Amino acid sequence: MTTWFNETLYKGFRQSHEVKKVLFEGKSKYQQVGVFESGRFGRVLALDGVVQCTEGDEFVYHEMLTHLPILAHGAVQSVLIIGGGDGGILEEVLKHKAIKRVTMVEIDGDVIEVAKKYLPKICGKAFSDKRTNLIVGDGAAYVAETKDRYDIVIVDRPDPVGPATVLFSEGFYKNCRRVMKPNGILVAQNGVPHMQGPELTEAVKLFQKLWAQSGTYLAVVPTYVCGFMSMTWASDRDITDVDPRKVFARFDKARLPALNYYNPEIHFGAFALPNFVARLLPAPKKPVPKKVVKTAAKKKAALKKKKAKR
């Protein structure tokens, strides 16, 4: 008799994976953790009954959340990863030899240990790399307290339920901005627009409040069903406005090994949004005229001078 793993993340819809063999089942302090061998996608990691990644297609998600912002930036030396217990994001970041320091903060240490034992094809040797600073703890608390600063912040957040809800809050992203170096870039997964459209809209609205530039780009991850996966980004510069020749040159120089999805052509194509996705995005912020900025600065300086005389 065939056994099936049924994921019911969305109301009125489910997807099923054939379970060839259960490799691990357990409950951590935070969630139910499971790994099984599937009939189609290799080993599958599930948390609280929701597929997180599979050996068969994890490369799409992990490559697009790492290489696109890193190559858009062009001079990354330090990266912060919030979440990412399976190690896939960490493994991709470490492919960039020019990066000197990667801090990963994952709240559930059990997920990390399960990944090391059962998902080596996904995490590789990332957890033992000398550039890795692994912290088992609360990512929200870390960005609120740390004195370190980063070129790239990657938020590998799950769906907004349980302890993960804080990773969707304004306070959390204010602190993410605080730990970013000038011209830093933040990226976060934002679900499947076809099924989670309001989440994408609210995420971009929030990013617009905190950064000068923000938006989303897309990738297709087969096990994240119902179409495109959206990845929101935020920065004080427009990461879509990069000379393609620079991205191609950076890609060649990086000599990244064995990528299965990302390339410079995909880099720019990912920002092309279907109409139904584009309509989910709030209108971009209008730039403040320079004259207004100068006037405000003069008023602020005059007020400061007046207070100093008192």
- Residues taking part in catalysis: 156
| Six token digits for residue 85 | 């217990």
Longest dimension (CA), the chain: 85
3-class secondary structure per residue, 100-141: CEEEEEECCHHHHHHHHHHCHHHHCCHHHCCCEEEEECCHHH
Q: How far apart are CA 230 and CA 219, in angstroms?
A: 7
Q: Which residues pair with 35 in a beta bridge?
A: 24, 45
| Six token digits for residue 35 | 């790994």
Q: Is 309 helix (H, G, I), strand (E, B) or coil?
A: helix
Residue type at 97 in one-letter notation: K
Q: Residue 16: which of 5, 24, 8 has the closest Cα?
A: 5
| Six token digits for residue 34 | 């499971």
Evaluate the CA torsion angle 191, 197, 231, 145 in order and state its sign.
Answer: negative
Residue type at 181 in one-letter notation: K
